[in-house]
Amino acid sequence: MTHVNAPAPQRAVIIGAGIAGLACAVRLRAAGFAVTLLERHGTVGGKIRTIPSDAGPIDAGPTVLTMRHVFDDLFAQLGTRVEDHVTLIKQNELARHFWPDGSTLSLYADEERTVGALRTFGGPEAVADFLKFTKRTRQLFSAFDAPMMQAPEPKLAALTKHVLRQPHLIPAMAPLSTLKTLLKRSFRDPRLRQLFGRYATYVGGSPTHAPAILSLIWQAEANGVWVVKSGMHKLTQALGRLLDAHGVETHTNAHVDRIETQNGHAKAVHLANGTHIPCDVLIHAGDPRALATGALGPATTHIAKQTAKAKRSFSARVLSFAAAPHGPDLAHHNVFFAEDAQSEFNDLMAGRIPAHPSFYICALDRGHGKHTPQLERFEIITNAPATADDKVEDLSPWLHQITRQMAQHGISFSPTPDTTTITTPQAFAQMFPATQGALYGQTPHGLTAALQRPTARTKIPNLYLAGGGTHPGAGVPMATLSARHAVEAILSDQISTSRSAPTATRGGMSTA
Ligand SMILES: Cc1cc2nc3c(=O)[nH]c(=O)nc-3n(C[C@H](O)[C@H](O)[C@H](O)COP(=O)(O)OP(=O)(O)OC[C@H]3O[C@@H](n4cnc5c(N)ncnc54)[C@H](O)[C@@H]3O)c2cc1C
């Protein structure tokens, strides 16, 4: 537990109880703050949300955990362990992949097993290409973990210096290449290019436009995938209970519609119901674009300004339903590829709902090492552009198309999911203010995309940012890491302020 040597308790207010807001609350409470967590929805969790069904709540957001150490560290802040609150099941099989020609390939936590599967799938060439590629991504992941993901405010100059000190990283980064180009050079088998290109979509991007360095996302999965027993929502519910037990005041159905400032400092937040809550420190853990676009009032439109103009990451059409499956045996995490790898990304880049998308099926009740119930819970995710104008009348033909594609892979469900089970980009846009439906903040496209995101500190000295729209980016572990960056910035700013003269400003910081 970290303790701050400041007049306590100071009142910290957090806007948004997604994983980032919850993680900020844990850390601030551990540091001795009186914490109020405000969430516009009726439950905590944000994009880690569920849809009710006859088989119980079905995840309609992320489905697995990677980078477990991030969560071990988070729970340790309050002197407890993640496994005391949820059951985490490490997956031997990371993902099962299916192609329209009938070929399948599983990737495993155990690399030897993956190599065996690859040998059957594509012979010695596939094995050799994979081993070379995975060596490269392992090298990139470990080289960029500290200076990029763990660094609170990564700077181009520091990264350049880091790379120049290890020149062997330059070819591994393929700095001028897109992920697609890198994969073309790395794999002779087009199916493997399609498979590893998929990882760009895990941060809402296309392999055709994402930088080659995003190949390291595969490594986050290769380092271990955990399923949370009964669903990812159990993790955020557990954090909610932990915060209650530690005296954090959580208010749900509490939409913040204005931040009030005084003398350049955040003074209070105003809720849609007319309540106002004063704060000494404020963290905005929703999409930072909400500040820049004025969704939180006129006083904060100069914050995270770049997000107002930046292109958005992809959204998704997501089906969550309970049914009995027929067809190929499914793992927890399954990817069904479309015939034409490129057409989906052409559609997405043109802002269209893909006509023939690849789709991801999460069989939520599998991967637990126990008997699978007859009525199983499923989440199907297909990529969609963030600004898609989803008309209800478009959903039915689209669902027919997806059902036809599934039938080509030999898979069907009884009952067949209907359009009421779909969450659309528009629905995401309505649920999560100022996101435009984008699930991963601003686009990951472009060489310096990772350096364009807002960081924790802002131009308002006691207003900080956290969440998947801020550094180090989207995804459950990254959003959780952003909370560490925000709270460490608060603590270090308080220490430096308490050591300085009363009029001192914070030196050397970057502002969003
Ligand atoms: C379908 C889908 C699949 C995904 N798959 C994966 C995956 O497999 N792995 C992975 O790591 N990540 C995945 N993600 C991404 C991951 O869910 C997000 O990156 C992460 O959950 C973001 O957390 P967050 O706390 O930053 O934001 P959010 O979860 O969006 O939380 C922000 C919260 O702030 C609240 N809020 C915003 N504005 C206000 C306001 N004015 N007043 C009050 N409350 C407010 C919102 O209601 C929300 O609850 C997926 C997401 C989706 C939707």
* Per-residue pLDDT tens digits for 342-399: 999 999 999 999 999 999 999 999 988 778 999 999 999 999 999 767 777 889 999 9
Distance 297 CA to ligand 1 centre (A): 22
Pick from 128-137, 299-308, 383-392: least confident? 383-392
- Residue ranges in 102-155 assigned as alpha helix (H): 111-144
CA 239 to ligand 1 centroid distance, Å: 15
Q: Ligand 1 atom closest to Cα of 318?
A: 1
| Closest of 100, 65, 97, 49 to residue 318, by C-alpha | 49
Does the pLDDT of residue 1 top 50, yes or no? no
Hey, where are the domains in the chain?
Answer: 11-49+231-309+434-499, 92-223, 314-385+389-423
Assess whether pLDDT exceeds 90 at residue 316: yes
Rounded average pLDDT over 5-25: 88
Whether the pLDDT of residue 454 is over 90: the answer is yes
E-strand stretches of 327-420 = 333-336, 359-363, 376-384, 412-414
- CA–centroid distance, 468 to ligand 1, in Å, is 7
Mean pLDDT (whole number) for 301-319: 96
Ligand 1 in reach of 16 Cβ (< 6 A): yes
The pLDDT value given to residue 389: 73
| Arithmetic mean of pLDDT, 46-54 | 96
Could you tell me the pTM of the whole model?
0.94
Judge whether 34 and 356 are in contact, CB under 8 Å. no
Dist CA 466 CA 446 (whole Å)? 22
Please give the Cα distance from 269 to 228 (Å, whole number): 34
CB of residue 475 inside a 6 A radius of ligand 1? yes
Q: Which of the four pLDDT bands, split at 50, 70 and 90, describes residue 510?
A: very low
Averaged pLDDT score across all residues of the chain: 92
Q: Would you say the CB of residue 357 lies under 6 angstroms from ligand 1?
A: no
Q: How far apart are CA 97 and CA 106, in angstroms?
A: 6
Distance 439 CA to ligand 1 centre (A): 7
The CATH number, out of the four listed (3.90.1170.10, 3.30.470.10, 3.50.50.60, 3.40.50.150), of the domain defined by the range 11-49+231-309+434-499:
3.50.50.60
| pLDDT (0 to 100) of residue 317 | 96
Peptide bond just before 288 cis, omega within 30 deg: no
Residues 293-308 have a mean pLDDT of 97
Ligand 1 centroid to Cα of residue 503, in Å, is: 37
**Ligand 1 in reach of 219 Cβ (< 6 A):** no
Q: Give the separation between CA 417 and CA 263, rounded to whole angstroms.
A: 54
Q: Is pLDDT of 216 > 90?
A: no
| CA of 66, closest atom in ligand 1 | 11
Query: For 37-42, what is the mean pLDDT?
Result: 98
Query: Which tens digit of pLDDT belongs to each residue from 472-487?
Result: 999 999 999 999 999 9
What does the alpha-carbon distance between residue 22 and residue 24 come to, in Å, rounded to a whole number?
5
459 contact partners, CB below 8 Å, separation of at least 6: 302, 303, 511, 512
State whether the beta carbon of 203 lies less than 6 angstroms from ligand 1: no
Q: Over 70: is that where the pLDDT of 511 sits?
A: no
